[in-house]
Amino acid sequence: MKKLTILAMLAASPALAAEGPFVSLANTNFIVLIAFLIFVGILLYAGVPGKITGLLDARARQIRADLDEARALREEAKTILASYERKQKDVQEQSDRIVANARDEAMAAAEQAKADLKLSIARRMAAAEDQIASAQASAVRAVREQAVAVAVAAAGDVLKRQMTAEAAAASIDAAIGQVDAKLH
């Protein structure tokens, strides 16, 4: 069956469809064949296949160069990305260290402030206790002075009532004698 199909295709070829002999200027198929062969010859003579091959080769070289450049740019981008990732990691580590140092310094400052506050409270308590003791001593002294003044006034009243003019003169003479003895 396959052979029959091939034979039918050959029998139905355009060369067999034309009337008259094939190699004749009256046969249009022959004229088209001759024109096609002349056209192909002119193309070969003008070097069109070489030019087309050269253009295709140039295009292939350009594509290869573009691909090489793209690979180089990709590698450079990978390098830059790795560099930025390292820098980001370094900056992150540095910021973590700064935060940790700031936290430690804040804790130390808080501890120092607590110690200073305790010391200040202790000083103020001591000052208040000193003021209380001073006020207490001053009050005791004032009470004593008042008591002495009252006692002197009371003794003066008692002496005034009990003292006679002769006893007063004798007491004054005795006091003068004591002052004279101590001054000479």
Average pLDDT, the chain: 86
Is residue 12 one of the residues assigned to a domain? no
- CA 124, CA 103: separation in Å to the nearest integer? 31
Cβ neighbours of residue 15 closer than 8 Å, sequence gap 6 or more: 22, 29
| Residue 11 pLDDT > 60 | no
> 47-69, pLDDT tens digit by residue?
999 999 999 999 999 999 999 99
Is residue 184 one of the residues assigned to a domain? no
For residues 125-134, average pLDDT: 91
CB 171 within 8 A of CB 165: no
Is residue 3 one of the residues assigned to a domain? no
Written as one letter, the residue type at 40 is V
Is residue 142 one of the residues assigned to a domain? yes
In the chain, how many domains are there? 1
Angle, nearest 10°, between helix axes 28-46 and 48-162?
60
| Residue 168 pLDDT > 90 | no
Is residue 4 one of the residues assigned to a domain? no
Is residue 114 one of the residues assigned to a domain? yes
- Longest Cα–Cα distance of the chain, Å, equals 199
Residue-range definition of the domain harbouring residue 120: 18-164
Note the pTM of the prediction, 2 decimals. Answer: 0.39
- CA 105, CA 102: separation in Å to the nearest integer? 5
Is residue 183 one of the residues assigned to a domain? no
> According to the model, what pLDDT value does residue 9 have?
55
